[in-house]
Structure 1
Amino acid sequence: MSKFFISSDLIKDDKVFIDGENANHIINALRCKIGEKIEVSSGDGYDYVCKIEEISKNIVVAKIIDFFSNESEPDIKITLYQGLPKSEKMELIIQKCVELGVDEIVPVVTDRVIVKLSGKEDKKITRWNKISEAAAKQSRRGKIPTVQPIISFNDAIKQASKNNLNIIPYEKEQKNGIKNIINTFKGKSIGVFIGPEGGFSEKEIEIAIKNDITPITLGKRILRTETAGFITTAILLYELEV
């Protein structure tokens, strides 16, 4: 059964009114017929099983026949602050981190970022959010994690102050592992800082430490930027048992 995310204002009483790209996908790609079932989520913590009642050129109307609590969202909110990588690596990072359970992704410009966006930031963000949506559908998430606008490292540091815990994998850290940190963690939100291909500069690590962002080790091997984010997320969720 195909899943679609819609805004809450499109759910009225026992009906859902699906328009835009979702309606186009139902009508032209899936070629759904009246009477077929689809699954809908508005990010309110519930999934709705619906039966299609009407199909017009631009809208699909379906009746809610069942609903249940979505159990796929972790209790801990993980925000990934990702140093911008080259080429299509960001797309892979978004896809896999959304599948694993990241709550939000923030692209960050750091000292060693070499990618040039040349005024294409808005197009990139739009595409990245579509990739997040597709990954959320595939993994049956209860929400679509947002890919935020690109910000500077200093702004990311400020933004991360809202989290209960922030960590930064760093190749020179030898002792502090995720398990050590999580053993005493009692909060509800974690920020994960991942550097670009060249990693973080010494200056950035110093700034991070001064702002209570804890350096951690991911083991004896150096991971690529496109690997480090979802490995860190996977370990966190495993250790937290969520």
Structure 2
Amino acid sequence: MQQVFIDNSPVDGVITITGQDAHHLIRVVRLKNGEKIRVSCSDGSNYICQVNGPSGDDLIVDVIEEVPSTELNNRIYLFQAIPKGDRIETIIEKCVELGVYEIIPVQMKNCIVKLDEKKKKNKLARYQAIAESAAKQSKRSIIPSIHEIMDFKQAYEYACDLDVILLPYECKNGMKDTFDVLASLKKGQSIGVFIGPEGGFDPSEIELVKDRAKLISLGGRILRTDTAAICSLSMLMLKCEEM
């Protein structure tokens, strides 16, 4: 079943899909009258709809039923150190599938990749397109946003507005604190997760956040940055689903 995100809401049980989404569904997917699609509106409502045919360049669909949101009970913000290669694309795709609310790429001290301003803009557009594709595939109710790239200090200041900040740290021994932190999370809390680069967090970065962030462990093995992000989101997804 195709998924589409729109800004407008149903009017008398009818939704009009416009723009590139309409073109894609009509000309590329070639949806036929009577086929069903899932529509998520900007007001947070979600519907199963039946295609009623094109109207010029637009696609008209009839609402069959309203369905529940697929979003987690908590908003999770991923502060991801920029990795080398295309690992960031995998991180975005998988973490969107797992329920992340926003991803903030962070230029940390030990990041190997250094992006200039032009590359940052080009990358951001591609990252957002990957997030949208993953949101459609996983039937999200929103498209998670990819924030502009920040340095570590900017990212920490941004995270300070959240209810909880978690930082998986390779120097943290034992899983007790991890289990305790997960058990203490409450429904509706906003949660920030900082994932370090291939070279690990710089000591000055840990010093900056230690009084506010909860340092946790992801186990006795050293994980790649993309694995650490997916592991952290998986743990939080399971916890948020049960609340």
When normalised by structure 1's length, the TM-score is 0.92
Q: Residue 112 of structure 1 aligns with which residue?
A: 110
SS state at 1:120 partner: helix
**59-68 or 189-198, larger mean C-alpha shift:** 59-68
Q: Distance in 1 between matches of 2:183 and 2:65?
A: 39
Q: Classify 1:126/1:12 alpha carbon distance in 2 versus 1 (closer, same or farther; 3 Å).
A: farther
Q: Distance in 1 between matches of 2:230 and 2:73?
A: 17
The offset of 1:207, in angstroms, is 0.5
Q: Distance in 2 between matches of 1:238 and 1:32?
A: 35
Q: Residue 6 of structure 1 aligns with which residue?
A: 6
Deviations 1:94-131 (A, max 9, x none): 11101111111111111112223331222211111111
SS state at 2:215 partner: strand
The offset of 1:5, in angstroms, is 1.0
Q: Classify 1:116/1:58 alpha carbon distance in 2 versus 1 (closer, same or farther; 3 Å).
A: farther
**179-188 or 19-28, larger mean C-alpha shift:** 179-188
Deviations 1:44-78 (A, max 9, x none): 343212222231553212222221222x2110111
Q: Which amino acid aligns with 1:205?
A: I
Q: Residue 153 of structure 1 aligns with which residue?
A: 152
Determine whether 1:75 maps to 2:73.
yes
CA contact (8 A) 1:3 1:137 kept: yes
Q: Distance in 2 between matches of 1:34 and 1:126?
A: 34
Q: Distance in 2 between matches of 1:25 and 1:191?
A: 35
Which structure 2 residues correspond to residues 13-24 of structure 1 after superposition, within 5 A? 13-24=12-23
Q: Residue 91 of structure 1 aligns with which residue?
A: 89
Q: Residue 202 of structure 2 aligns with which residue?
A: 201
When normalised by structure 2's length, the TM-score is 0.91
CA contact (8 A) 2:23 2:57 kept: yes
Root-mean-square deviation (CA, aligned residues, Å) is 1.8
Runs of 4+ residues deviating >4 angstroms? none
Q: Which amino acid aligns with 2:214?
A: T
Q: Residue 229 of structure 2 aligns with which residue?
A: 229
Q: Which amino acid aligns with 1:39?
A: R
SS state at 2:59 partner: strand
**44-53 or 227-236, larger mean C-alpha shift:** 44-53
CA contact (8 A) 1:35 1:52 kept: yes
**32-41 or 224-233, larger mean C-alpha shift:** 32-41
**49-58 or 112-121, larger mean C-alpha shift:** 49-58
Q: Classify 1:13/1:196 alpha carbon distance in 2 versus 1 (closer, same or farther; 3 Å).
A: farther
Q: Residue 180 of structure 1 aligns with which residue?
A: 180
Q: Distance in 1 between matches of 2:122 and 2:27?
A: 25
Determine whether 1:127 maps to 2:126.
yes
| Runs (5+) with no aligned partner, structure 1 | none
